[in-house]
Amino acid sequence: MTISDTVLLDVKDLKVHFSIPGGGLFQKAKLLKAVDGVSFQVRAGETLGVVGESGCGKSTLGRAVLRLLEPTAGQVAWLGQDMGGMKSETLRSARADLQVIFQDPLASLDPRMTIGQIIAEPLITHKPHLSKEEVKEAVKAIMAKVGLLPDQLNRYPHEFSGGQCQRIGIARAMILEPKLIVCDEAVSALDVSIQAQIVNLLMRLQKEFHLSLIFISHNLSIVRHISNRIMVLYLGRMMELADRDQIYSDPLHPYTKALISAVPIPDPKVERNKEHIALKGDLPSPLNPPSGCVFRTRCPFAKEICATDVPELKVYDGKREAACHFVES
């Protein structure tokens, strides 16, 4: 699909910090830096994949972009306008173009509402001038596009499978024909065969509606299939951002290399002979991250400078970025 030069979303030095109360009476509150200075752009028609281990800040980043969480610092600009400075009416209008698909298909749907009511809710909220018949026809039309039957309109979420519930969630997100959808682990709770169906559905809808996606996932194989560019996060900081093919064929950051080496290859002979990079230790607590480079405690190439200096995010080859002291060595 053609990617436009139009920048829809421009995120600069985004930070989301949480104050965690101390465990005892006289213990001070600790600062959890869930997202700590992340910058990126999303263009019209583009899919940006976001990967990393659990606890690295992927979902927090997605929610902060949508203003479901208030950023501690930094700027989120939508079509050139700072969302932090938007008045309530302008922000409400912008929300129609920014939608989300959640991880748990069933938990994200109100069990007391019918499928028709769930899908129609954003339309009723943002376009109250539409008649009941117009809303009903719009709901039926989007249901057909996501693979649901119009006669299922009056059924309830518990009557559907996980894959069908996720299609309902997609229909709800698509009913307003948004410009950007954040897919927050949208397929991780589904069976492998259903995952493929949902990913292909998202790609088809993206092409038809010229959507942009932020696709958050642990599954690097799926991210490679659907994404144009990929961002790698670790303890709230960006380690690398590059074109999909570049990041899989020639990763720059040691953390990215370790993640890519863990992706299974269908050919058993190639899989046996490829280099596997095992990371030592566990992910450090975000309440007590390492000094300097946050990845240094698990990095096989860490040196003294890594403990004292935070690596600057630098541009390589004119288009990909990495934050490591020793990329060039």
| Residue 59 and residue 27 share a domain | yes
Q: Binning pLDDT at 50, 70 and 90, where does residue 328 land? A: low
pLDDT in tens, 242-268: 999 999 889 999 999 999 888 777 667
Instruction: Kindly state whether residues 234 and 115 are assigned to the same domain.
Output: no
Q: How many domains does the chain have?
A: 2
**Strand pairing of 320-322 and 237-243?**
antiparallel
How far is residue 90 CA from its own chain's centroid? 24
Taking the model in full, what pTM does it have? Answer: 0.92
Instruction: Decide which of 177, 197, 214 is a domain's last residue.
Output: 177
Condensed to tens digits (0 to 9), the pLDDT of residues 154-171 reads 999 999 999 999 999 999
324 lies in a domain? no
pLDDT of residue 84: 86
Domain of residue 142 covers 110-177
- pLDDT tens digits along 59-102: 999 999 998 899 999 999 999 999 988 888 888 888 899 999 99
86 and 233, same domain (yes or no): yes
CB contact at 8 A, 306 and 293: yes
CA distance 84 to 71: 9
What is the mean pLDDT of the segment spanning 32-51?
Answer: 95
Please report whether residue 309 resides in a domain: no
Q: 3-class DSSP state for residue 104?
A: coil
CA 174-112-91 angle, to 5 degrees, is 40
> What is residue 1's predicted lDDT score, i.e. its pLDDT?
59
Helix intervals (H) in the chain: 58-65, 88-95, 115-126, 132-145, 162-174, 192-209, 220-226, 244-249, 254-261, 268-273, 304-308
Token pair, residue 180, equals 């950007």
pLDDT of residue 308: 93
